[in-house]
Each structure stands twice: as structure tokens, then as C-alpha cells.
Copies of this chain bind each other. A is one copy, B any other.
């Protein structure tokens, strides 16, 4: 289609440093073209590019010259097929607009790039079927797979285990990960939120909460501690995921509209908390004097925008780095120090909640 018509200039096919004719007609330059022009064998070209130390300086230079002159770009697909190393690591996140995951993605990608790996990005939320996404990914034979969360369909687990590809699950804890794990306990995080609010004297606590899986676990933790302390009525506004800002506004409105009295509102994410705070301001409610607000997770974001928001801070970049290190260790045949890493979380109190 976009092919240029064959050149009209006479071209001696025997001239060693001329491009083979077909290479000038739109087809990609192959290693054999380079080899022919450089007057060596294909394997020598391969070595010159991948293991220059195995080649005489003169040969090396000659090959390099031809490579740059012809614009040869090695076909990594062919290389991958033969060498069984795809140079790819897949990373699956529910969604990227969540702002919760971007730091992890950034760090993960950076760390992997440094070792020559490219990242295949999978976003699973808009397709219900994570399994389908993963099936597609496994077919590309990545050398490692990063997964968000530990809840996967049994067939997904089987598929991944059968694939023998190193897997890191992240952002959560599990006694029986597929392979490796870097995360923290959402239950404990929820408990920590409850304990903090109780310690601050709050007994009338409302929830503005996203209904995703991990948030649900945090809520369990939170509610169980409240229950232990005799608090069983916890007015809750459950927001459809992804828990964005506007949902936070609506959440507080719903709580207050229901007639519930609350001295504190706990949110499943800092974005929701921002919405709650905005709505409160609009209603002349002072934060944290009238209502204390507590968030979760996206500490950087929260720190920036709400000096009065106490939150649970997650080291998102650390998760990415540790995940990358774990995968790289396995890929490169090194010992993995710990198969399961709990990075924990910190409660960051600000604005005397």
C-alpha cells in the first residue's frame, strides 16, 4: 500500500555494501540484509548487537556502520520466539484514573526499564472478565506479571500457575498468594482508622465508602473495632466505584440528609474525603471542628489539598519498586529474599482530627 515503487537507478546486486533490492521497496531490513552488506553471517550481526564482546572490534564497527546506514531495527518478536525471552512484563491494574495506582505504575515501569524490560499495561475494570485479559496477556509470554489484588478467578489462578511465569500480587495480603506478594493488610488499616477515631473521642461515626473489594475489607476491619467498642450503628453511604470526588460530596449529603448525627466521617479513599470536605465547606460545616474527616491511601494527594485530613498513608512507590525487584530476581534466577512482603501503612494525623 504505502510501498514505494522499485527504484530506477541501476544497482549492481553484487556490490557488497549495497542494500539488497527488496530492502529498498518498503520491506523491513532483516538481519540477513545487514549480514550480506557487511559481508558476515547473520549470527555475527546478532552477536555484534547483543554480545559485542564476542566480536572483533573491526567486525563490530563494520556491522554497526551497516546497521546505522540501513536503519536496521532487530525484530524482537523473532528474537523472543527463538530465545524464549520476551523482554516484557505485564502489569494489571483495575484502573488508572483512580490516582491510587499511578505512583506504583511509574515506579514499577521505571525499575523494569532499567533492566531492559518493557511494560504491557492491562486495565481490568472496564472489562468485567479479568480472566480474559490475563489469558491474552499470558499468550504474549511475558517474563513476569504484576497483579493488583489477590482476588482472582480460580481459572485465572490455575492459568497463571500453569504458565510458570513469575507473578507478584500487590496492594493486598493473602496467606496463599499465587506466587509472590507485596502488600498490606486492609483489615488492619480499617481497624487503625476506627481506633484513631475512637481515641479522638468520636462515637458517632459515619462512612462514605466505595464498594470495591479491598475497601470492603477495610470496612470490615473498621466496623469490627467499632462493634467491640459498643458502636453498632454506623450510618454509611456506599458509593459506586471508582470513588471519585463528586461521590464524596454526594456521600456526605446523603449521610446528613438521612438525619444521622456524626462527629466524624471516615472515607475509603482520600479522593472521597476531598469531596466530603468540599461539601462540608459549602454547608458551612467546619473541618475538623464540627466534623472530623478521615481518608485513606493517596497520602500525597491528601497532604497537598487538605491540611485537616488525617489519613492512612500507603507507600505506593515502594510497592512498585519491591514488586519490580521481586519479579526481576525471579527472572534473573536470583534468590527472592521474601516471597511475601508486608509494607504496612502509617496513620498520618493532620489538623488535629
A residues within 8 Å of B by Cβ?
A: 1-2, 26, 28, 71, 73-78, 80-81, 86-88, 91, 95-97, 99, 102-103, 105-106, 109-110, 113, 116, 118-123, 126-127, 133, 135-141, 158-159, 162-164, 244-246, 271, 274-275, 278, 300, 304-305, 307, 333
Contact = CB atoms under 8 A, between A and B. Distances in A.
A139 B102 contact: no
Contact of A102 (B2, B75, B102): B102
A143 B159 CA distance: 27
Contact of A138 (B73, B113, B121, B163): B73
Contacts of A123: 106, 109-110, 113
Contacts of A121: 91, 105, 109, 118-121
A317 B26 CA distance: 35
Q: How many copies does the complex hold?
A: 2
B96 A105 contact: yes
Given A73-B138, A113-B127, A116-B136, 4 more contacts: A75-B139, A76-B136, A109-B121, A244-B304
B81 A139 contact: no
Contacts of A278: 304-305, 307
A281 to B, nearest CB: 9
A144 to B, nearest CB: 14
A263 to B, nearest CB: 24
Nearest to A91: B121
A28 B140 CA distance: 13
A274 B305 contact: yes
A154 to B, nearest CB: 13
Contact of A304 (B88, B110, B159, B275): B275
A246 B303 CA distance: 10
A27 B21 CA distance: 41
Contact of A77 (B2, B86, B307): B86
- In the A-B complex, list the 7 residue pairs whose CB atoms are closest, starting with the nearest: A245-B304, A76-B139, A121-B121, A119-B121, A76-B140, A77-B81, A97-B106
B109 A139 contact: no
A135 B271 CA distance: 38
14 contacts: A26-B164, A73-B135, A73-B139, A75-B81, A96-B105, A96-B106, A96-B109, A99-B99, A99-B102, A113-B127, A118-B122, A121-B121, A244-B304, A274-B304
Contacts of A96: 96, 102, 105-106, 109
A68 B42 CA distance: 40
B118 A136 contact: yes
Contacts of A246: 304
A259 to B, nearest CB: 27
